[in-house]
Each structure stands twice: as C-alpha cells, then as structure tokens.
Amino acid sequence: MRASSRIKLITSAVTLVFGIGCMAADRDPSPTAAAAPSAPVSEKAEYRDQSLARTIGQGAAGADAVQRVRDQRDSVAPGMIIRNGSAIVEVATLDSAIAALRALAQRLGGYVANTSVTTGRDQVPSGTIELKIPAARYDSALAGLEPLGKVESVNTTAEDVGEEFVDVTARLANARRLEDRIVAILATRAGKLEDVIAAERELARVREEIERYEGRLRFLRTRAALSTLTVTVHETYPVVGAPGTGPIALSVKQMWRNFVLFAAGLISSLGWLLPVSAIGYLVWVAVRRYQRKRQAVVPLTT
C-alpha cells in the first residue's frame, strides 16, 4: 500500500473514532439536569461508560480510563451543588453591621466581593454586601446573621451540577484519548504534505475542545466550592423622627420649600413674560388708536 493511501486510511480511522466518542458523550440530551446524590448508577451512565470503553479501546488501558471516570462520578458528583442565597437584616447602625459582615466572611474563610452603600438625604442608611463563603460553611454564615440584628427574610437556592460535571469529564476523556492517537499518527507520518496538515488541523481542533472542557470543569468546581450570600442591611425606619423632625414639622418645611420653588419659578418666568407682555401692550395700543381714527373719519364721509 502506498504511503499516501496509508495516511488517508489513518485519517479516516481517526475521524471515525472521534465521531463514535462524540456520539457516546452526546447520548444524554440534558447534561444540566439535577442528579440525586444517593441514587444508584443510572442506565445513561452505564451506557456512557460502555461507549467510552469502546471508544478508547478494550484492555487494561480502557478499563483503567473507565474506572477513573466512574470513581470521579461517585466521589465528586454528589458534592457538586451550587448554593446561593440572599438575606435582609435590620440593624442598629450601618457602619458596624458592614464591619461585622466583613469580619464574618474572614472568619469563615471567605471574602467580600461587592459592596453598595446608600446614605442620601431623606433616605434610610442601607447597604448591600455580597459574601463569597466556602460551601461547607454556608449554614454557619446564615447563623452569623442573627447577632447583627433582626433578620427579616432569607432565601436560598441550590443547583445540582453533578451530572453535568460527569458528562463533561467523559467528553474530556474522549478528547484526550483522541489527542493521543493523533499525536501517535503524526509521530510516524509519511506521505503528502496536505495529509499531514489535515492531521495537524484535526489535532488543533481537539486540543481546543480539551481546553474548553477543562475550563468548564474549573468553573463548576469554583462555583460549587464557593457559595454566594447577598446580605442587605438597613437601619430602623423612623416612625416619628428625632426632636424637631416630626411629621408636622416636616410638612411645614415641605410647604415652605414648595412656596420658594413656586416663587423662584415665577421670577425666572419674568424673563420671557415681561417682553411678551410689553409687545402685547403695544399691539393693543396700536389697535385702539386705529379704531378711534376710523370712528372719527366715518361721520365726515357721510
């Protein structure tokens, strides 16, 4: 068999192997569906493992790869839960509450991601603090809100991404096995230049997919390792207010402000009202004079 024919045959075999691997990885149509942590191995997972074994080959190497995927599914997938929450707390003073939240995050091994504070005029001082807390200490973070003040509301959401993690791991194993085969083919390459370039182009594409899968796995690990807790704190809403700032006093002040605004608007409107009034007066005088002259001329002509 000639060298060019051998290269074409090898390239076709590599493409066929990669297609089988993608079909095996894409067998599950909903990779983001929630997986029960304590449930036994599903039929879809078994099918994926068998397809992976057919893709990477039988024997000791194939069995080891399948076993690694199963071990990773059993050990990592149950803990791949992304937890996020939000809470509203009424506090005595805003500054002390923000300082306490920062200390709480540091004590639990987390950090403060974002902070927003509002202390405008005629507004109740409030702030929103976003805490990044290790997932294992999320409940401790919720318990740490009690000493701050009155907890008005707490909302928590949980998203299980264990099945997606296993699915991406299987895809990554397929892509790495295909990468090893293409590298082995290129190590013994011979034949036309365009065949070699095609194999290298296929290798670049596979490595790009490997990087994408690895990035997705890193993202899932990071999101599952750190929980996000958004805490909104505000001071007590005033009912009557401090001495001299009761509802009646505030109403009188608001009335005075409205009167001043009206007077200021009236004064500013004189800039165009006076010229328009003067022009209107001159037009009115001219019309009156014209009418008087006409009335005086009419008897003479009769």
Are 99 and 207 contained in the same domain?
no
Are 149 and 87 contained in the same domain?
yes
Residues β-bridged to residue 81: 160
Are 55 and 98 contained in the same domain?
no
Q: What is the pLDDT of residue 298?
A: 57
Does residue 240 sit within a domain?
Answer: no
Domains of the chain: total: 3
**pTM over the 0.75 mark:** no
**What is the mean predicted confidence (pLDDT) over 21-34?**
41
Centroid of chain to Cα 264? 47
Checking if the pLDDT of 108 tops 60, the result is yes
**What is the mean predicted confidence (pLDDT) over 14-24?**
46
**What is the mean predicted confidence (pLDDT) over 23-50?**
41
Checking if the pLDDT of 249 tops 90, the result is no
Nearest CA to 12 among 173, 202, 160? 202
Checking if the pLDDT of 271 tops 70, the result is yes
pLDDT tens-digit readout, 87-105:
999 998 999 999 999 999 9
Are 168 and 67 contained in the same domain?
yes
Confidence of residue 270 (pLDDT cuts 50, 70, 90): confident
Are 104 and 212 contained in the same domain?
no
Are 58 and 95 contained in the same domain?
no
**What is the mean predicted confidence (pLDDT) over 274-290?**
86
Checking if the pLDDT of 14 tops 60, the result is no
Residues β-bridged to residue 231: 87, 129
Q: What is the pLDDT of residue 154?
A: 93
Asked if 140 contacts 107 with a C-beta cutoff of 8 angstroms, the reply is: no
Q: What is the pLDDT of residue 127?
A: 92
Are 33 and 175 contained in the same domain?
yes
Q: What is the pLDDT of residue 285?
A: 86
Confidence of residue 216 (pLDDT cuts 50, 70, 90): very high
Are 87 and 150 contained in the same domain?
yes
- What angle, rounded to 10 degrees, do the helices at 3-25 and 43-56 form? 170
Q: Which domain holds residue 177?
A: 3-78+162-222
Report residue 8 as tokens: 């074409």
Checking if the pLDDT of 128 tops 90, the result is yes
Average pLDDT, the chain: 75
C-alpha distances out from residue 67 to 86, 98, 218, 221, 230, Å? 40, 49, 21, 21, 40
Are 185 and 49 contained in the same domain?
yes
What percent of the chain has a predicted confidence (pLDDT) above 70? 68
